[in-house]
Amino acid sequence: MKKVLKWISIILGVLILVIVVAITGLYMSVQLRADRAYTIQPANLAIPNDASAIARGKRWSAIHCQSCHGDDLAGTAFFSDPGLGSFNASNLTKGKGGVGAAYTDTDWVRAIRHGVRPNGKPVLVMPSADFYYLSDGDLSDIIAYVKSIPAVDKEWAKPNFTFIATVLAGAGAFGDLYGAETINHTAPRPIAPKPGATVEYGDYLVRVDGCRTCHGKELAGGKEPNPEAPPGPNLTPGGEIAKWSEADFINAMRTGARPSGIPMTQFMPWQSYGKMSDDELKAIWLYLKSLPAKATVKP
């Protein structure tokens, strides 16, 4: 009996050691990823400063930037949970606490398109894997607008995650923490099609809008990085959307309500996408309708 208890104790001890080592490894992996230095040679874009470019950039910003960085782009308290920690979206203006005063045009390209700070460190929770495909013109317009906005003095605390949250992040529970990790920074980017209500332009918008982050690589359903979010629904003709009309889709993006009247969840950023033009929403609709019907993926 003593021998049995001895072996049980040894086995339990080994298991505990393995668990401790695994947890420590996950925790350390996140720290190492945060400290990794990237050497990026961003494209040298000529950033315009004319009123029309700034106006286009303002609209792109409303669609892509304000949901995280706020209407004035001075940052927001993006995430806060007693058990997991907190994370704030950065102040992008030239005010106190903002990055705008220090960023050069090249720095903006590096941060938005590559998810990398001027010091080479990766930007946390930045959808650069999607923004990598923004055309030079669209990206230049966004930068032109961000450079033109009024300075706002607003300082935010650095990310502060609990040990448990860091371990879970290391295990992949929150999706891709750093877009810079998932980008082939030297890969050629396809030429963006001419804007209009076309399948091709819809493909471009779906790519840069980050739809696949929540709806899966084939848009047949997926798991949003936020652990509190429900699975993203199937957007192919194999899902509920097959019963929708173009008008239903546009109305859903404008109002946040399905044709049935049931509201979309808070995790669907329809308020941002609803700022798109009718032609842009029609393009997305045409692209989704062109996809092969897929069975809904259940994460």
Q: Could you report the per-residue pLDDT of 251-267, keeping only the tens digit for each?
A: 999 999 999 888 988 88
In this model, does residue 70 exceed pLDDT 90? yes
What confidence tens digit (pLDDT) does each residue in 235-249 have? 999 999 999 999 999
Burial degree of 66 (CB within 10 A; 0-12, 13-18, 19+): middle
> 131-149 burial, b if ≥16 CB within 10 A, otherwise e?
bbbbbeebbbbbbbbbbeb
Go through the chain and tell me how many residues it has: 299
Whether the pTM exceeds 0.85: the reply is yes
- Average pLDDT (188-192) is 86
In this model, does residue 224 exceed pLDDT 80? no
Which residue would you say has higher pLDDT here, 9 or 147?
147
What pLDDT is recorded for position 290?
97
If one counts every other C-beta atom within 10 angstroms of the C-beta of residue 177, the result is: 20
Q: Residue 77: what are its φ and ψ, rounded to 5°?
A: -80, 90
- Domains in the chain: ranges and CATH: 51-162+174-182 (1.10.760), 199-290 (1.10.760)
Contact (CB, 8 A) for 180 and 116: yes
Contact (CB, 8 A) for 183 and 128: yes
| Amino acid residing at 272 | S
> What's the CA gap between 273 and 218, in Å, rounded?
20
What pLDDT is recorded for position 298?
80
Tell the residue number behind the tokens 């317009």, with chain if given. 141
Instruction: Calculate the alpha carbon distances from 267 to 78, 232, 255, 263 in Å.
Output: 13, 9, 14, 11
At 1, the pLDDT band (50, 70, 90 cuts) reads low
